[in-house]
A and B are shown apart, each in its own frame.
Chain A
Amino acid sequence: MNCRSEVLEVSVEGRQVEEAMLAVLHTVLLHRSTGKFHYKKEGTYSIGTVGTQDVDCDFIDFTYVRVSSDELDRALRKDALRNSGGDGLGQMSLEFYQKKKSRWPFSDECIPWEVWTVKVHVVALATEQERQICREKVGEKLCEKVINIVEVMNRHEYLPKMPMQSEVDNVFDTGLRDVQPYLYKISFQITDALGTSVTTTMRRLIKDTLAL
């Protein structure tokens, strides 16, 4: 099974980065979250209710819908903040995965089944007029991204099979109180304005150190 990969690119001003990231993350997670499962006997389960709420962006002319879960919102904000600020190119990956139990001494394997990559290009603007225009343009761009996300979601491609009670933690993140998203992780890659990525720099440093 191949992992499905989608790439979205946005150009934003520095203070719009966090909101743009959250808009994309929440839109994807809205589609990839269910209500809490409540297992009953005979292998049946019922599903809780997912609420939604509108979020107006402060620095972008845009409103997005997110799942009504403050815990999930806090977790995503913590991740989105890591990549905000500064000029240059940043890349965030939202990866949905399944855990596959392995025998000892091997640890559980994480098998991604869908990866959303958001490339954020941060620009610096000088005048208020440019910022105003940027507000509108980024809003329009995000509208297009939402339409792209929805298009992918409604292709109804591979989704993990609904798990038995014993395996629910291998498919869903059951740690939240009110909703249950598919297991996901968020990773970042920040490239500064010179085009050098932090990871490649670190790799070079370590190599050089080892070579001595």
Chain B
Amino acid sequence: METDINSQDRKDLDKFIKFFALKTVQVIVQARLGEKICTRSSSSPTGSDWFNLAIKDIPEVTHEAKKALAGQLPAIGRSMCVEISLKTSEGDSMELEIWCLEMNEKCDKEIKISYTVYNRLSLLLKSLLAITRVTPAYRLSRKQGHEYVILYRIYFGEVQLNGLGEGFQTVRVGTVGTPMGTITLSCAYRINLAFMSTRQFERTPPIMGIIIDHFVDRPYPSSSPMHPCNYRTTGEDTGVTYPSVEDSQEVCTTSFSTSPPSQCVFTVTKAHFQTPTPVVTDTLRVPMAGLAFSHQLSSSRLSYQPAALGVGSADLAYPVVFAAGLNTTHPHQLMVPGKEGGVPLAPNQPAHGAQADQERLATYTPSDGAHCAATPSSEDTETVSNSSEGRASPHDVLETIFARKVGAFVNKPINQVTLTSLDIPFAMFAPKNLELEDADPMGSLHSDGSSGGSSGNTHDDFVMIDFKPAFSKDDILPMDLGTFYREFQNPPQLSSLSIDIGAQSMAEDLDSLPEKLAVHEKNVREFDAFVETLQ
């Protein structure tokens, strides 16, 4: 595209876009680490803070971003995308967001690169900081830990939104016009978090007692691996070092002029380093025809597994070491394995790396502070089961994910079950009416009882409409845990305590009293002798 931009401005613009892309990735990934981010303001320019914002550079993230870009820049038809997804302990994953940095054809030829574009990119980064905290994935990422982790993937090329499910929403973070095109930053995020159980059953039928931990095929074969959004500080033994920000080849020192914009002074100095990083380049490589932009084969991971670097399949992801199951005393709480990992790991992971991951993944527990309004709490199960309309809480995610049940009782369709054929203990005492109706999972705990349905059990103080314990629901077969619970809610009364039987025995006793008294009177002497022996 022919523009009036001079070569120096073009160079500056390319540099700005490159570092903007890197900083964008840092902001997004850091916002999904599950921790609060805090950086300090500095009144004096440090020279290494691009766009006058203190955004730390996680070396691995920079490395992945540079690998994905491979020396190219976002341009028309070539977008840089950061995909954020959730992966459960059972190995199921779900895309949550796609952040896109795109360029379109609308040019602003009058704009000044070194001044206006730079400041607007800075403003856009601030907007990104704000927006990354308001999408639904933020709250999910703050609660990641034992049950699920958040992963990220960077790819370059065409935006792939199909993994977000139906009805995904988009939010535009902002735009900055440049002489080469308009930079646009936007986010498409999933709003339907309940799709997973269906997809799971399409691919893997439930198998009792086996935790399936192989990976589900992705709809689009992506060769760039997922990385978890958690970060190990450089103080730990990693075995691999990535270039930190100080090793980057360019340091930004900006000076601005108060004179008219045409006289802006903008200096960029190149720091000299001993070990130049092979992947870092500030020259713009022209893409060759047929080069696939979106494929970056790598198995490098944030977890610093030296043995795994350069080895492994493209879809390698983290070993997840969780147990999924229902603890009936806390129906909304998953069993959490100990740190030793009592659950089988993904088979193709080095054990030491997996152990390290396991230790690091427990960053946030659901019981943490004020952010657990949407997480299970035993005193507010209504809110949990009826999470806000349209907006799925993390609990909804978990509730639908763990639909496959590992249990002790055989699942049978409830309408084919007769009482005698129920192979559960005390089946003969089960209530006759076993209709299932749709209602809240914890409908029995409603203080005002249930409205409508009845379980047919007249001994109930309240009527249970339907009981669907979390994580035991089975789409194909009816739940037996629920049946078990319902049946044992009302055990039969002891016969000796029942009024009828008691009344009967008392009447008999009264009738037989005169005869007994007569017998005792005959044996008075024997009784007296007995009493004397006792004295």
Contacts and interface: CB of A to CB of B under 8 A. Distances in A.
Contacts of A45: 255-258
A201 interface: no
Nearest to A179: B41
Given A43-B259, A61-B374, A64-B130, A48 B43 contact: yes
Given A38-B45, A150-B174, A47 B256 contact: yes
B256 A46 contact: yes
B411 interface: no
Contacts of A36: 43-44
Contacts of B391: 136, 140
Contacts of B131: 146-147, 150
Interface in B241-283: 253-259, 265
Contact of A35 (B43, B173, B371): B43
Interface centre among B41, B123, B127, B174 (most CB of A within 10 A): B41
B255 A43 contact: no
Interface string B46-68: 10010011100000000000000
B534 to A, nearest CB: 65
Contact of A54 (B37, B54, B120): B37
Given A45-B258, A61-B371, A137-B388, A51 B123 contact: no
A56 interface: yes
Nearest to B129: A65
B41 A178 contact: yes
A143 interface: yes
B9 interface: no
Interface residues of B, number: 53
Interface stretch (B88-96, B133-141, B221-229, B337-345): B133-141
B171 interface: yes
Contacts, number: 168
Given A49-B45, A49-B53, A136-B373, A150 B256 contact: no
Contacts of A31: 123, 126-127, 130
Interface string B21-54: 0000000000000001111111111100100111
B133 A65 contact: yes
Given A45-B258, A52-B53, A150-B174, A136 B130 contact: no
Interface centre among A47, A48, A137 (most CB of B within 10 A): A47
B383 interface: yes
Contacts of B37: 52-54
B213 interface: no
Contacts of B521: none
B43 A150 contact: no
Interface residues on A, range: 35 or more
A65 to B, nearest CB: 5
A149 interface: yes
Contacts of A139: 373
A150 B130 CA distance: 8
A154 B174 contact: yes
Interface in A55-90: 56-59, 61, 63-65, 67-69
Interface stretch (A99-107, A156-164, A192-200): A156-164
Interface stretch (A113-121, A127-135, A182-190, A204-212): A127-135
19 contacts: A27-B130, A35-B45, A38-B43, A44-B255, A50-B54, A52-B37, A54-B133, A56-B371, A58-B370, A61-B139, A61-B373, A63-B36, A129-B383, A136-B388, A143-B135, A153-B127, A154-B124, A162-B256, A163-B258
Interface of B: 36-46, 49, 52-54, 120, 123-124, 126-127, 129-131, 133-135, 138-139, 142, 171-176, 253-259, 265, 369-371, 373-374, 380, 382-383, 388, 391
Given A35-B42, A136-B391, 18 more contacts: A31-B123, A35-B41, A43-B259, A45-B255, A47-B254, A50-B41, A54-B36, A56-B371, A59-B370, A61-B371, A64-B133, A129-B383, A146-B133, A154-B124, A154-B172, A156-B176, A162-B256, A179-B41
